[in-house]
Amino acid sequence: MAGKVITIAQQKGGSGKTTLAVNLAVAFTRRGMTVALLDTDPQGSLGRWFLTRRERLGQPGMDLSTASAWGVSYECEKLRKTNDVVIVDTPPKVDADLRPALREADLVLIPVAASHVDLWATDGVLDLAARERKRATIVLNRTKSGTRLGEEVAAAAANLEAEVAESRFGQRVVFAETLGQGLGAQEFGKSQASTEVEALATEIPARI
């Protein structure tokens, strides 16, 4: 059976797309799944994380490919054949170049940091996903438990024409620390971040 494609997209930069991609990739591999990463962002953060991981571990435990917009469909078709999951990281913009990555997706994940500005930035992605008739799920990122802003953003997200994941990533230093070391939060020992990643990795497959 062909692997599933998860496309991570958000118009606003700094929303946590790469953080979401690498932590899901690590979580899935820890479950015995084969995973491929596809970096379509010219900034190359996902690729740099992968190279850092390879230097640190020798065997990264997953595959990496890169592609520009026109090559996404070809790469996804190829990677689906040999992997259970393909995770696509996209540039922080919404235009015609994003459509191939959305078109290939079995699920679109939209990370939203705990701010109304980030939430407003989801409109373009949601519109394109709807045009491609793709299921989109908002993942709240860098949330601060018990804050009014966090709850306001969560409530506003629930009113959009998109699903909102029950699992969230909190504002935790370990996400940034592990990203720079080529690791996922779950490889840094037990922590609240590790628990959050595990919860999301359990929830996402059920949405595909």
Residue 85: which of 70, 110, 104 has the closest Cα? 104
Interval 25-59: pLDDT, tens: 999 999 999 999 999 998 899 999 999 999 999 99
Q: pLDDT tens across 102-151, in order?
A: 999 999 999 988 666 777 778 888 888 889 999 999 898 887 766 565 56
Q: How far apart are CA 167 and CA 170, in angstroms?
A: 10
Please say whether the beta carbons of 208 and 106 come within 8 A. Answer: yes
Q: What confidence tens digit (pLDDT) does each residue in 56-114 have?
A: 999 999 999 999 878 999 999 999 999 999 999 998 887 788 899 999 999 999 998 86
Distance in angstroms (rounded) separating the CA atoms of residues 110 and 7: 9
Query: What's at 114, amino acid-wise?
Result: A
State the pLDDT at residue 92: 84
How confident is the prediction for the chain on average, in pLDDT? 88
Residue 151 falls in which region: left (phi positive, over 0), alpha (psi -120 to 50) or beta: alpha
Question: Rounded to two decimals, what is the model's pTM?
Answer: 0.91
Measured distance CA(22)–CA(135) in Å, rounded: 21
What is the residue whose two structure tokens read 């491929």?
A: 36
d(CA 141, CA 114): 6
Task: Spell out the domains of the chain, with CATH numbers in brackets.
Answer: 4-207 (3.40.50.300)
Number of separate helices (H) and strands (E) present in the chain: 9, 7
Query: Cα separation of 13 and 19, whole Å?
Result: 12
Q: Phi/psi at 122 (nearest 5 deg)?
A: -80, -15
